A and B are shown apart, each in its own frame.
Chain A
Amino acid sequence: MRTRVPPAGTLAFFAALLISARADAHLVTTGLGPVYDGIGHLLLTPEDLVPILALALYAGLRGARAGRLALFVLPLSWMLGGLLALGLGGAISAPVPALSFILIGLLVAIDVRLPDGAVATLAGSLGLIHGFLNGPALAGAGPGALGLLGIAAVAFVLVALASALVVSLKAPAARIAVRVAGSWIAAIGLLLLGWTLRTRGV
């Protein structure tokens, strides 16, 4: 709308467009192929998607300032982690997604009152580690660094929408519903951890 422009979302949009223009190997038609690949990758990967949503819920519970910090720190750290993985190669063998589910799910469920700086640190750590985990999927025939841009853009949009939604919730029952969602995420994380350990023969 005229007086309240959403610049950052569109900024990400245009940045995606701008940078994608150089990767002509994949950009035969729309110019956004790898970026769309990145968007699709995140939306179709619950191991990445759910922790992002959980973090957004938690940041929203902590208030507008925490939401703002998470909004900018998470996508940037995700890109940094992804770029590191693309540059260094390698992968993390720990069951990171399950641990992310459990940790952030519990933070939401218990509504732990961490300071805003700690929320930013959590967002940064989550982004760095999960971004690094995305490395193998992005490298080689994958969408590469441009895919990271798509992932970061979607993460930005999701954190903005979800954390703002929670910040706007005033009714105690609504906040309890958010905490219940957190408990479900933690429970799914426990199941995921059990499954991961079982398949690894631990």
Chain B
Amino acid sequence: MTRRALALLAAALAGSLAAAVPVLGHENRPGFLEMEEKSPGVYAFLWKAPSDGETEIHIAPVLPPGCALATPDGQQLTTSAILVRGTLHCEGGLAGRTIAIEGLESTATDVLVRVRHSDGRLESHLVGPASPSVTLGGSTTVSQRAASYLKLGVEHILMGIDHLLFVLGLLLIVSDRWMLVKTITSFTIAHSLTLAVATLGFASAPLPPLNAAIALSILFLGPEIVRVWRGETSFTIRHPWVVAFAFGLLHGFGFASGMTALGLPKAEIPLALLLFNVGVEIGQVFFVAVILLLERSFRTLEIRWPRWVEALPGYAVGSLGAYWTIQRTVMLFSEAR
């Protein structure tokens, strides 16, 4: 297939995506529901639904029968979430009652449900689209909570197609195993830094421009991949780890959105941050391993790909990066107006 045909294919890819404007955004921040028992049957209620991303998700808790919620302040809108605070009255307490999250089944996000009982028991559940309700009443150990944060981290990267695409782009650029290790390590260090900085509240990045910048980082890799095929060189091709580090700082802020949306209590943040980051790394290593093992498998099975098929991933990285950059920039300016 000629280069012109490939360009047409890439254009078709981008065009098809353009027909589905908001749906491909990376917006899988979890929701957060906290109920702290102040006196028997009376709970301080906090609901946080992620907001101000590229796509609004409409989720809300459905309270058990016999419970009444008073929200004197109504609903508040922060830069990244819709907040509802109030007082929940449940005759006989929440034990044995089921709380569901309406709308969750039609999303790809999770909600962390935490209940602090008056006797000191802490209950924490991660509910997702597959099982959007939970029956309360038990207690959750530290290891169970740690597993929840780990799962959040793994899910965040594996469902964050833009992060994966960036890593794929890096894999297409690096020339040898040692460079691959250096590049992936520097990406990991960089995003871990900003993930920690943002989660601990030392810095933050507004989501719309951040998402546009992340899209730009993917677009940036497209031409570099083409240069590699042509046998040309560039700073990125010679030192991909530097680029991985620089853009990794941006992606770390993106990962942090999955944590900061929770608004966890300070005492819980070190555990959550550590396990969430470990989860992200596990997901990233898994993705890289699958790609490398696939590459090895194709060689073992002696598959000879046509030239145009080999070129397609690079064109796809560039095209999707371009599409997302344009889409997110347009959204950024339309929101600013």
Contact = CB atoms under 8 A, between A and B. Distances in A.
Interface in A50-72: 64-65, 67-68, 71
Given A2-B228, A7-B309, A7-B313, A32 B161 contact: yes
Interface string B12-29: 010011011001111110
A31 B106 contact: no
A1 B175 contact: yes
Contacts of B161: 17, 30-32
Interface stretch (B69-77, B94-102, B300-308): B300-308
A131 B84 CA distance: 45
B302 A4 contact: no
A31 B23 contact: yes
B290 interface: yes
Contacts of A24: 20, 23
Interface stretch (B85-93, B274-282, B291-299): B291-299
Contacts of B26: 29-30
A142 B15 CA distance: 27
B300 A64 contact: yes
B301 A67 contact: yes
Interface in A1-28: 1-11, 14, 17-18, 21-22, 24-28
Contact of A10 (B25, B109, B168, B300): B168
Nearest to B291: A6
- Among A2, A36, A165, max chain B CB count under 10 A is at A2
Interface string B306-322: 00011011101000100
A29 B28 contact: yes
A17 B218 CA distance: 15
B55 interface: yes
A177 interface: no
Contacts of B303: 8, 68, 71
B291 A28 contact: no
Nearest to A10: B313
Contacts, number: 150
Contacts of A80: none
Contacts of B106: 25-26, 28, 33
A11 B309 contact: yes
A180 interface: no
Contact of B57 (A29, A32, A157, A168): A29
A183 B259 CA distance: 47
B174 interface: yes
B214 interface: no
Contact of B108 (A18, A28, A67, A68): A28
B159 interface: yes
Contacts of B61: none
A21 B313 contact: no
A1 B28 contact: no
A137 to B, nearest CB: 13
Interface in A67-95: 67-68, 71
A32 B302 contact: no
A30 B291 CA distance: 21
B160 interface: yes
A171 to B, nearest CB: 15
13 contacts: A1-B180, A2-B173, A5-B314, A8-B294, A9-B291, A11-B312, A27-B20, A27-B23, A29-B159, A32-B159, A33-B107, A160-B298, A163-B301
Interface of B: 13, 16-17, 19-20, 23-28, 53, 55, 57, 106-109, 129-130, 159-161, 168, 171-177, 180, 228, 290-303, 305, 309-310, 312-314, 316, 320
